[in-house]
Amino acid sequence: MTVDRIIFGRPLRSVAFDVAVSGLVALFAVLGAVAQPGGWSATLVGVGMALVLLVRRTHPAAGAAAVGGLALLQVVVGWGPLGYDVAVLIALYSVVKYADRLRDGVIAGLVAAVGVVLAAVQASGPAPWWANTIVYGLVTGAVWLVGLNVRTRRLYVLSLEERATTLEREREAEARAAVAEERSRIARELHDVVAHSMAVMIVQADGVRFTIDRDPATAREAAKVVADTGRQALEDMRRLVGVLREPGRSEPPGVAAEPDGGPSAEPAHRRPALVELPALLDRFRAAGLRVNYGATGEPAPLPPGLELTVYRVAQESLTNALKHAGVGASVELSLNWSASDVVVRAVDDGRGRSVVRPAPSGGHGLLGMRERVGVYDGSLTAGPTMGGGWRVEARLPLPSTPGVEQGEAA
């Protein structure tokens, strides 16, 4: 893993590059100390320019102004263009690239144009001043345009990074909202299960009171139902509190939930059971899925909350297959029962055609299934298959004691 080191609040590579540039300018100033006009005085001016270049990224406008002032001093004393004057071009490039406002770069370019004329007039050599002006002007203009081009690309990259960061924050916020919504829905359904269990306990307790003298055997059976139902209700209450208190798990990218009004739509505040699974499959077949259903093993009676989770996993798996694999896709849905767990598996071939009306975005089918399965300490795996389809498998452990039949007592 590569770690960018920071020094003086800046990346180490940037600082090292600026030090190298500054050192090169200072070297030009020192090497010309003997032969250049001004001698060591000019060398001091060049070293000053080199030191200013150390802040060319953090303070580009101030650095360009300082370099320009030293260059003006050089012109006033009549030394003419010297080798270390490359610092002027570097400062011009830096202010165009790094300044917060392009206006600073434009002002620096105008000042550099005046400096080009003054330097051309003082330049020694056989060429006339206007020829020197053209040469210096072309070099200075090229540097300004390169700085402008790099600035444009830099701002474009920064805008893309900012947009990507914003989108990532929005996706995280949507995922958190989706998990909170699904956990609230699970809590409401578990609340209904607990309320039903309490109603059963009350009815059975009333039956015990009225039959304890006349039919002790029936009373003992009713008392057993009350105890079993109470234990199951207490377990469901524990899971309900866990749903409300437990911080959100790490969520994978969500797969959309069912479209509004789709085949899996059902009235609110209704707790479906596995006995209704064939009717659910018929609705999806009518919507265009080719659903093949099978079960292996000996089905065991399940607590209402766990039974609801099995039903919801099957429902969400078929919904996602309809939405993503499309109409006409083939889905293999199976329930595999064993002594320790029940496995819900849905595999589609991904060979359907797109629905005419696109489903609304922002669903969270996988998030919902993962939350539901996690409430009962189960595991969920989902991913693409080799044939181009999608596979969902939920493994839910069965309770150590069979779930009680919570029918109404006569």
Please write the tens of the pLDDT for every residue from 278-292. Answer: 888 988 888 778 999
Rounded Cα gap, residues 80 and 391, in angstroms:
77
Please write the tens of the pLDDT for every residue from 26-43. Answer: 888 888 777 777 788 888
Looking at 67-71, 265-269, 272-276, which range is the least confident one? Answer: 265-269
Beta bridge partners of 34: none
Say if residue 268's pLDDT is above 50.
no
| Whether residues 19 and 110 fall in one domain | yes
Say if residue 6's pLDDT is above 50.
yes
Which of 104, 124, 144 is the C-terminal boundary of a domain?
124
What would the mean pLDDT of 240-245 be, rounded to a whole number? 60
Rounded Cα gap, residues 174 and 106, in angstroms:
44
Distances (CA, A) of 293 to 33, 74, 96, 393: 91, 90, 68, 14
What would the mean pLDDT of 304-331 be, rounded to a whole number? 86
Distances (CA, A) of 392 to 313, 345, 388: 9, 6, 14
Looking at 159-168, 243-252, 308-317, 396-405, which range is the least confident one? Answer: 243-252
* CB distance 306 to 396 below 8 Å: yes
Question: pLDDT: is 363 or 126 the higher one?
Answer: 126
Say if residue 257's pLDDT is above 80.
no
Residue 296 has a pLDDT of 92
Determine phi and psi for 351, rounding to 5 degrees: -110, 30
What would the mean pLDDT of 126-154 be, rounded to a whole number? 86
Rounded Cα gap, residues 190 and 307, in angstroms:
11
| Whether residues 280 and 210 fall in one domain | no
Residue 392 has a pLDDT of 93
Residue with tokens 């990532």: 168
Q: Identify the H or E element spanning 390.
A: strand 390-397
Rounded Cα gap, residues 249 and 378, in angstroms:
14
Say if residue 93's pLDDT is above 80.
yes
Instruction: State the distance between the two ends of the chain, measured CA to CA, in whole angstroms.
Output: 69
User: Which amino acid, 320?
Assistant: N
Average pLDDT, the chain: 78
Say if residue 104's pLDDT is above 80.
yes
What would the mean pLDDT of 296-318 be, rounded to a whole number? 87
| Whether residues 278 and 391 fall in one domain | yes
What is the maximum span of the chain, computed from C-alpha positions, in angstroms?
132
Of all residues in the chain, what percent carry a pLDDT higher than 70? Answer: 78
Please write the tens of the pLDDT for every residue from 118-137. Answer: 888 877 767 787 887 888 88
Tell me, yes or no, whether 160 lies in a domain. Answer: no
| Whether residues 55 and 94 fall in one domain | yes
DSSP letter (8 states) at residue 358: P
| Whether residues 311 and 205 fall in one domain | no
* CB distance 393 to 344 below 8 Å: yes
Rounded Cα gap, residues 187 and 240, in angstroms:
6
In this structure, what token pair is assigned to residue 83?
């080798």
Residue 368 has a pLDDT of 76
| Whether residues 287 and 389 fall in one domain | yes
What would the mean pLDDT of 67-84 be, rounded to a whole number? 83
CATH of the domain at 195: 1.20.5
| Whether residues 233 and 292 fall in one domain | no
Beta bridge partners of 94: none
In this structure, what token pair is assigned to residue 267?
């009235």
Residue 407 has a pLDDT of 39
Residue 254 has a pLDDT of 37
CA nearest to 182, candidates 366, 318, 343: 366
Residue 391: which pLDDT band, with cuts at 50, 70 and 90? very high
Residue 319 has a pLDDT of 84
* CB distance 296 to 337 below 8 Å: yes
Tell me, yes or no, whether 202 lies in a domain. Answer: yes
| Whether residues 296 and 368 fall in one domain | yes
* CB distance 333 to 277 below 8 Å: no
Q: Summarize the chain as % helix, strand, coil (round to 5).
A: 60, 10, 30
Which of 245, 262, 283 is the C-terminal boundary of a domain?
245
Distances (CA, A) of 287 to 186, 262, 349, 355: 26, 8, 17, 10
Distances (CA, A) of 112 to 205, 351, 356: 97, 66, 63
Query: How many domains is the chain built from?
Result: 3
| Whether residues 294 and 213 fall in one domain | no
Beta bridge partners of 381: 393
CATH of the domain at 289: 3.30.565.10
User: Which amino acid, 281?
Assistant: L
Tell me, yes or no, whether 163 lies in a domain. Answer: no
Tell me, yes or no, whether 74 lies in a domain. Answer: yes
Tell me, yes or no, whether 162 lies in a domain. Answer: no
What would the mean pLDDT of 70-78 be, rounded to a whole number? 84
Task: Give the number of other CB atoms < 10 A from CB of residue 206.
Answer: 12
| Whether residues 393 and 279 fall in one domain | yes
| Whether residues 220 and 302 fall in one domain | no
Say if residue 330's pLDDT is above 50.
yes
Looking at 74-83, 111-120, 132-141, which range is the least confident one? Answer: 74-83
Residue 338 has a pLDDT of 92
**In 3-state terms, what secondary structure has residue 290?**
strand
Residue 406 has a pLDDT of 41
Please write the tens of the pLDDT for every residue from 41-59. Answer: 888 888 898 999 988 888 8
| Whether residues 213 and 300 fall in one domain | no
Query: Which are the contacts of 167, defined by CB distance < 8 A and separation ≥ 6?
Result: none
Tell me, yes or no, whether 405 lies in a domain. Answer: no
Could you list the residue range(s) of the whole structural domain that residue 190 is in?
A: 175-245
Rounded Cα gap, residues 371 and 381, in angstroms:
13
Residue 331: which pLDDT band, with cuts at 50, 70 and 90? very high
Q: Which of 4-13, 62-71, 179-188, 359-368 has the highest mean pLDDT?
A: 62-71
Task: Give the number of other CB atoms < 10 A from CB of residue 190.
Answer: 25
* CB distance 182 to 312 below 8 Å: no
Question: pLDDT: is 217 or 187 the higher one?
Answer: 217
Tell me, yes or no, whether 156 lies in a domain. Answer: no
Residue with tokens 């400096």: 115
Tell me, yes or no, whether 131 lies in a domain. Answer: no
What would the mean pLDDT of 201-207 be, rounded to a whole number? 70
